[in-house]
Structure 1
Amino acid sequence: MTQKIIREFNGSSQLHCGSLKMHATGERYYKVNRILLKTLGLWPYQQSYFSRIHKTLFVSLLLTFILVQLLVFVTTQYNTNLLLKIFSFAFPALFVTIKIDCISTIELREIWNEQVKKMLEQMRDDWRLLKDKLEVDIIEKYAYNLQFSTIISIVIGLFCSFLLIILQFLPLILDVILPLNESRPFQAFAITEYFFNQEKYIYIILLHEILAYSIGIIALYGTFITIMIYIWHACALLKITSYRIENAIEKSALAIPVFERHFLFYQKIVHAVLIHRRAIKFAKLITSNFTLLFAILIIVGVSSLSINLLQITLINDSTEDACIVTTFIVIHLSYMFIVNYGGQKVTDHGMELYKAIYNGLWYAAPLHIQKLLLFMMKRGNINVTSIFGGLYEVSLEGFASLTNAAVSYFMVMYSTR
């Protein structure tokens, strides 16, 4: 009896150590996201007085950058080209400002912290629940692929930012390499009004602009990667559910006596149902408490894309403006496509689960287990990424709808300019 207790204790200790190891492995894949959120002051486990000052400073820099662009209308005569050029810079800045500012408000900050903590804790619990090596390999594969894609996208973003900085300072560089009789004209990309001599304080203006761009990029990456981590984790859970269903009822098990076979089926199906319920719950948490925020971001994002599409048609001979606006358009389309692609992958994984149940040996299971499988088939066929009461669906079809809306608004503005 004593030896039996010791064996059980050793087994539970090994299981606990294995859970901690899986937990540590999972944390390793999400370090980039944690660093970005800490930089923004949005990490839920680091809500000190300093982090609030941090967020306030970032939001202030972005808001002042938008304000100095709008102040141009005070000192400059209004025209359509000027309006579009200012809005093509102001709307992207407004997009990332809304992301930080809304989350920084007291009510949404509490919701954000609570929900992010809840989702992070569920992710850790999900990693601990996995005891099968193949299941651990599945979730690690998804986490690794997302980590690799994140690093690649950040490298591409840094490279593009470096090229834009070089383009910004190109007149100064050319004055050193290929000097002329007079200095080349030099100004910031965005049209701004500071009510002081901009030529004299051009480096302060550029510092303000570069800081605003840097904060915007960090905010865009930080919140975007967080959403994609949650989406990919939901996909991994659905994939593990499909794996459990496919291995729950095997032909070799049909030779087992009926009572033992039914107990085995029941045990495996219950484990699959558990993971499936957690996957559905996790997918619903992604959008359940931020519907209003996402609605505002969609409106601002589509408007920004439409304005930049119109702006690119009005650029005549300015290579710098063409590069900037083209970059903005690519960022808009890439952001919308990747987020909607993630939603589509969740839906596709739900359909894969449906097919795994349908093609399995469900008819060999007892009646009460068949009812569980029928319930899972129905839930697997439901789109788990619908938001705004089903008015908008995060999918490739949703991406096509957003793009179509942006192009439609662009055509209307272009025809009435």
Structure 2
Amino acid sequence: MCTLTLLHYHMHSRHRKNMIRLETQYFNLNRILLLAIGLWPYKQSNFTRLQFIFLSTILTTSLIFQCTSLISQKCTPDFVVKVLSSASFFALFVIKYNMFCVNIKAVKDLLEQLQHIYNELIDKNELAIINKYRCSARRFTAVLTIYVFCSVCALILCSCLLLSEFWSKLLDIILPMNVSRSHSLPITMEYFINQETYFYWILLHINVSYCIGATAMVGIGTTLIAYLQYTCSMFRISSHRIKRAISINTLGNIQPKKINLLLKGIISAVNIHRQAMKLSKLLVSKIEKMLFCLIIVGVVSLSLNLFRIFHIASYGDDVKEILLPFIFVTVCIIYMFVANYVGQDITDHNNDFFATVYDVQWHKAPLHVQKLILFLLQKRAKDFTVGVSGLFVGSLECFATLVKASVSYFTVIYSTQ
């Protein structure tokens, strides 16, 4: 009777879940963000390709025109730092945006693998675990989206504060002047044109570029976070299956039927655990080179913008100019923290699986099952980590190391002034 009930539940659950797509149920917020910049893997048409070319051109040219100012103007140390502090931050946008586009087919394949694993789930407790981590991923997406929206508003505010013509109109009413007041940009740019004439177009280019880059940063970042949160749920499911399998053995007398269920439960737990490890490693391996570039450029950007903040504060420059470096610093720190936190979360979930294997009453199982579990415990000798190029391992310790390195480089630059 129990077997028939389980079979009926299995068929009913499979039919129900075949109608559920992860892309709409679990990645809906991420889908909206990526559709806005033409990077949603399931919607790649000729229009989205044109959309990517157009947005990528705007984003890339904003970086190029920042660097060209080093050619057209006198390069004092302070000026070079000022240009590179913003250019390095926009370089993060360009790398991130192109990283996802180059690997968009690989990302789609990975999402399809997640869909396949989801379709195989039949237990309501396992589905509850998935839903719990879905809510966690949605919170990450919502919070980071709100923060990026605030940073965009801050950039627009900074642009308004630096609009000298805006203030000059007010001053002309109060204190008329025959001399025209010059415009200033929130970021140093060089277009090799008359910037006074095309000032508003240049300002629009800066703001649009930042909006595209910020949307790409949060859209791509939260999609990867949601993917890795899903793998964390797979680790948790493997722990659940181990507990359920061992509990079968403690319900009563050991029977051949129970032993078979015990072995099948352990095998299913090991299988989903291996799949979680495989998918985590596979994602990082696809974008490893770009992640390495992001880390290096991120450290450089953090160091330079820290220097800009202290330079403005120390030498009494225009206090309004401190707003952008402050935004860049906070974005870099938050992004580093979240990325390493997710890597640490994966390692912790893997350790929790082996802790569960150790804590269950496996010593009450038959001898050949005990040997199987002891073999499984040997796998814990080496921690499972998500790393980049063997140099950076996703962990809170790595986050502390990156921040420490950034502060050290900032100290070196500051001491040379």
Task: State the TM-score, normalized to the length of structure 2.
Answer: 0.89
- What do the CA deviations read for 1:370-404 (whole angstroms, capped 9, x no partner)? 34433443445643334245322111111112112
Q: Measured at CA, do residues 166 and 207 of structure 1 come closer, stay the same or move farther in structure 2, by a change above 3 Å?
A: same
For residue 97 of structure 2, the aligned residue among 97, 100, 103 is 100
Length, aligned pairs only: 405
Task: Tell me, yes or no, if the aligned pair for 2:10 and 2:122 is still in contact at 8 Å.
Answer: no
Superposition deviation, residue 82 in structure 1 = 1.0
Q: What's the counterpart of residue 391 of structure 1? A: 391
Q: Does 1:16 align with 2:20?
A: no
Q: What's the counterpart of residue 255 of structure 2? A: 258
Q: What's the counterpart of residue 331 of structure 2? A: 331
Task: Tell me, yes or no, if the aligned pair for 2:249 and 2:364 is still in contact at 8 Å.
Answer: no
- What do the CA deviations read for 1:3-56 (whole angstroms, capped 9, x no partner)? xxx9999766523322225x3477322112122223333223333333222222
Q: What's the counterpart of residue 274 of structure 1? A: 271
Paired with 2:133 and 2:412, the residues of 1 have a C-alpha distance of 42
Q: What's the counterpart of residue 320 of structure 2? A: 320
Paired with 2:384 and 2:323, the residues of 1 have a C-alpha distance of 38
Please show how residues 227-376 of structure 1 align to structure 2 within 5 Å.
Answer: 227-250=224-247, 253-315=250-312, 316-376=316-376
Q: What's the counterpart of residue 126 of structure 2? A: 135
For residue 153 of structure 2, the aligned residue among 162, 178, 185 is 162
| Alignment RMSD (CA, Å) | 2.6
Paired with 1:174 and 1:66, the residues of 2 have a C-alpha distance of 28
Q: Which amino acid aligns with 1:113?
A: I
Q: What's the counterpart of residue 204 of structure 1? A: 201
- What do the CA deviations read for 1:296-344 (whole angstroms, capped 9, x no partner)? 1111111111111111111133222211111110100000000000000
Q: Which amino acid aligns with 1:244?
A: R
Please show how residues 19-98 of structure 1 align to structure 2 within 5 Å.
Answer: 19-21=17-19, 23-24=20-21, 27-98=24-95
Task: Tell me, yes or no, if the aligned pair for 1:26 and 1:127 is still in contact at 8 Å.
Answer: no
Moved more, 333-342 or 94-103: 94-103
Task: Tell me, yes or no, if the aligned pair for 2:99 and 2:287 is still in contact at 8 Å.
Answer: no
Q: Which amino acid aligns with 2:146?
A: V
Q: Which amino acid aligns with 1:214?
A: C
Q: Measured at CA, do residues 25 and 294 of structure 1 come closer, stay the same or move farther in structure 2, by a change above 3 Å?
A: closer
Task: State the TM-score, normalized to the length of structure 1.
Answer: 0.89
For residue 188 of structure 1, the aligned residue among 178, 182, 185 is 185
Task: Tell me, yes or no, if the aligned pair for 1:283 and 1:385 is still in contact at 8 Å.
Answer: no
Task: Tell me, yes or no, if the aligned pair for 1:63 and 1:97 is still in contact at 8 Å.
Answer: yes
- What do the CA deviations read for 1:262-318 (whole angstroms, capped 9, x no partner)? 122112212211211111111111212222211111111111111111111111332
Moved more, 33-42 or 270-279: 33-42
Paired with 2:407 and 2:5, the residues of 1 have a C-alpha distance of 67
Q: What's the counterpart of residue 3 of structure 1? A: none
Q: Which amino acid aligns with 1:298?
A: I
Structure 1, unaligned stretches of length 5 or more?
1-5
Q: Which amino acid aligns with 1:302?
A: V
